[in-house]
Amino acid sequence: MFRALGTAAGRCARVPPNAVSGLPGSLQVVATPIGNLGDLSRRALDVLASADVICCEDTRRTRALLAAESLPSSPRRLLSLHGHNEATRIGQVLELLRAGRTVALVSDAGTPTISDPGARLVAAAVDAGYGVSAVPGPCAPVSALVVSGLPTERFCFEGFLPRKGPERRRRLAELASEERTAVILEAPGRLAMLLADLQGAMGDRRVAVCRELTKVHEEVWRGRLADAATHFGQQPVRGEVVVVVEGRSAPVASQEALSASVRAHLAGGDSPRQAAEATAAELGVSRRRAYAEALAQRDRDGRSGLPSGPR
Ligand code: SAM
């Protein structure tokens, strides 16, 4: 039986379980439902049933989950791990791993470490050379993204914005220049303010407000930021929400900038094809458009015998 080992040097090797600690301790990062018990995977059930210890945020919530699935939930199996005691718990969990125990890490709901505790524990286990595996499953930000109807090719996760002050303004300004779809968490009571602030910083972009995902009252509101700010300003929401906002459109390069870039590359000795490729990469314009400009400049310079253009 072998397990993968990630090392601090960034290598990944297949090693026998005893190679690092002498015993096969491992940390299993287990996603749990964000509102629908049916989303607990079979593998999650297996791991939660067999783990020696389960690190969890609120022991009452995890005990309720285990009880609902008829899994053993004795107090001895549960070890609370939250923002305030994570540093202390790390030593205890490393001891358990050293002793060859399997430790599961869960949060109250969703995927641990995603705006939830656990990242420092995972980093410590990785640094110490123990196996760390994901048992993937529910994750509110990802669920919101995939139902938003907004581009999913590139996205960024913002988590919760600071509640006020210069750091909130800085993060809003950063988001305004972001080209990727942004996924933001917010408390329901602060949703209208977030939408108004986003509109102030970004202008009137497309937005999806995803509420109570996977639950009976799941609802996705899709529209534009200005309408969303008005709508949710008049009609406060309850439950849990994720906001997904369209990224900034890529700026359209002016003809002057395009010509100047192509000219500079040709003057530097590039072929029209090379000049077009460099310009396309620098300005985000199409290679076809840049190549047409490169040919036009060469023609104006009276040169000929150019290769055929990019497809
Ligand atoms: N780690 C969790 C995950 O993977 O889903 C996220 C934890 S974060 C502390 C909790 C936030 O996630 C909530 O305030 C809300 O913004 C969002 N959230 C959680 N469950 C949700 C649901 N069912 N529908 C919409 N948003 C949800």
Encode the chain (311 residues) as per-residue pLDDT tens digits: 334 444 444 545 444 443 444 557 999 999 999 999 999 999 999 999 999 999 999 999 999 999 999 998 887 899 999 989 999 999 999 999 999 999 999 999 999 999 999 999 999 999 999 999 999 999 999 999 999 999 999 999 999 999 999 999 999 999 999 999 999 999 999 999 999 999 999 999 999 999 999 999 999 999 999 999 999 999 889 999 999 999 998 777 888 999 999 999 999 999 999 999 998 888 878 888 999 999 999 988 865 444 444 44
Q: How many domains does the chain have?
A: 3
Strands (E), 67-144: 78-80, 102-105, 131-135
Residue 147 is assigned to a structural domain of this protein: yes
Using left for φ > 0, alpha for ψ between -120 and 50, and beta otherwise, residue 110 falls in left
Which of 107, 185, 215, 237 maximizes ligand 1 atoms within 8 Å of its Cβ, making it the mutation to test the pocket? 185
Residue 240 is assigned to a structural domain of this protein: yes
Ligand 1 and 114: CB distance under 6 A: yes
Strands (E), 164-259: 181-186, 206-211, 219-224, 241-245
Helix, strand, coil percentages in the chain from 3-state DSSP, rounded to 5? 40, 20, 40
Instruction: Give the Cα separation of 246 and 225 in Å (integer).
Output: 10
pTM of the complete model: 0.81
Determine the distance separating the centroid of ligand 1 and the alpha carbon of 73, expressed in angstroms.
24
Determine the distance separating the centroid of ligand 1 and the alpha carbon of 296, expressed in angstroms.
54
Residue 3 is assigned to a structural domain of this protein: no
Ligand 1 and 241: CB distance under 6 A: yes
Ligand 1 and 82: CB distance under 6 A: no
Residue 287 is assigned to a structural domain of this protein: yes
Residue 2 is assigned to a structural domain of this protein: no
Provide the residue type at 174 as one letter.
Answer: E
My answer on whether 184 and 288 are in the same domain is no
Please tell me the residue having the least CA distance from ligand 1 atom 8.
115
Among residues 107, 138, 169, the one where a domain terminates is 138
Ligand 1 and 117: CB distance under 6 A: no
For 237, residues 6+ apart whose C-beta sits below 8 A from its C-beta are 188, 191, 209, 211
My answer on whether 289 and 232 are in the same domain is no
Residue 53 is assigned to a structural domain of this protein: yes
My answer on whether 168 and 92 are in the same domain is no
Name the nearest CA neighbour of 19 among 101, 134, 95, 129: 129
My answer on whether 79 and 157 are in the same domain is no
Determine the distance separating the centroid of ligand 1 and the alpha carbon of 114, expressed in angstroms.
9
Q: How remote is the C-alpha of 101 from its chain's centroid? A: 30
Residue 19 is assigned to a structural domain of this protein: no
Residue 30 is assigned to a structural domain of this protein: yes
Range of the domain at 177: 141-245
